[in-house]
Amino acid sequence: MICLVSGGLFSTATVFLKAFTEEFGWSRGQVSGAFSLGIVVAGLAAPLWGRIADRRGPRSSFIPGALIAGAVCLLLSRLSGIATLYVLYAVFAFGSAGIYFVPISVLLSRWFVEMRGRAIGIAYMGEGFGILLFAPAAGVLVTTIGGPVVLLRGHAPADRHWIGLTLEATQGARDAYGARAVVVAGGRRHVRIAHARSGYLSQSDPRMLFGLGAVTDVERIEVVWPGGTRETFSNLALDRYHHIVEGRGGP
């Protein structure tokens, strides 16, 4: 299992190569350099982890190595610069060396006296299966995050109603950020404030949406514009969006 996870994670470097170059604008040479540095660091760290495993047992190597590699995986989600990639991947390779070839060989050598070679061979089969499992999974993950836009459409029951507003200011910023809209319907007041939208790789709908439930009529809509002007609207149809422009007296 350790060989499966360690070998699989290490093999995903080639999958993320294209994702790194497209997301951050780095060259393939720059990203490949980080992966090459990781291999060198892992090789240099192997004697250190081997010495720890010999003196204190393989567990003394597995636990800190796993903690280091796991912590770096979390930090990689905050990646911002190429220098950070080099440092974090080098530390990741250092930690991975503590849970891979050397400590596993020490462990198997202690467990198996006879047929030791067969035991080591079976254990390292996990590396190949890890590459088969983790590399395609990482490819699906990258493809999903960088995939096409998906439009989700909600369907409400016919006896449930709503009304939507798009506000356009004529005094100050056109987007009317800070304007307050109040929909009075069914004895209740529904309040929305116009504000800037945001999202990860997307943007939420800037329009105001008011869910009214079983209410079949809107008594009035009050809009207080950013400049302080107040307007009241009535007789607006349900189940549709209305574009309201400041000062025009109606949608």
- pLDDT (mean) for 221-241: 91
**CATH topology assigned to domain 161-245:** Immunoglobulin-like (2.60.40)
CATH code of the domain occupying 2-145: 1.20.1250.20
Out of 36-40, 127-131, 148-152, 209-213, least confident range: 148-152
Q: Is pLDDT larger for residue 26 or for residue 178?
A: 178
- Predicted local distance difference test score (pLDDT) of residue 9: 63
Read off the pLDDT band of 13 (50, 70, 90).
Answer: low
Domain regions of the chain by residue span: 2-145, 161-245
Identity of the residue numbered 119: A
Tokens read off for 212: 């009214």
Read off the pLDDT band of 12 (50, 70, 90).
Answer: low
- Predicted local distance difference test score (pLDDT) of residue 163: 94
- Model confidence at 75: pLDDT above 60: yes
Read off the pLDDT band of 141 (50, 70, 90).
Answer: low
Q: Is pLDDT larger for residue 168 or for residue 205?
A: 168
Read off the pLDDT band of 247 (50, 70, 90).
Answer: confident
Tens of pLDDT, residues 115-132: 767 776 766 666 666 666
Q: How far apart, in Å, do the first and last CA atoms of the chain sit?
A: 65
Rounded to 10°, the helix 59-76/82-97 angle is: 160
Q: Residue 37 and residue 88: Cα distance in Å, rounded?
A: 11
Identity of the residue numbered 150: V
Give the distance, in angstroms, between the CA of residue 151 and the centroid of all CA atoms in the same chain: 19
pTM of this structure: 0.47
- Model confidence at 225: pLDDT above 70: yes
Residue 202 makes CB contacts below 8 A (sequence gap 6+) with 149
- Model confidence at 149: pLDDT above 60: no
- Predicted local distance difference test score (pLDDT) of residue 243: 93
Q: Are 16 and 146 in contact (CB under 8 A)?
A: no
To the nearest whole number, what is the mean pLDDT of the chain? Answer: 79
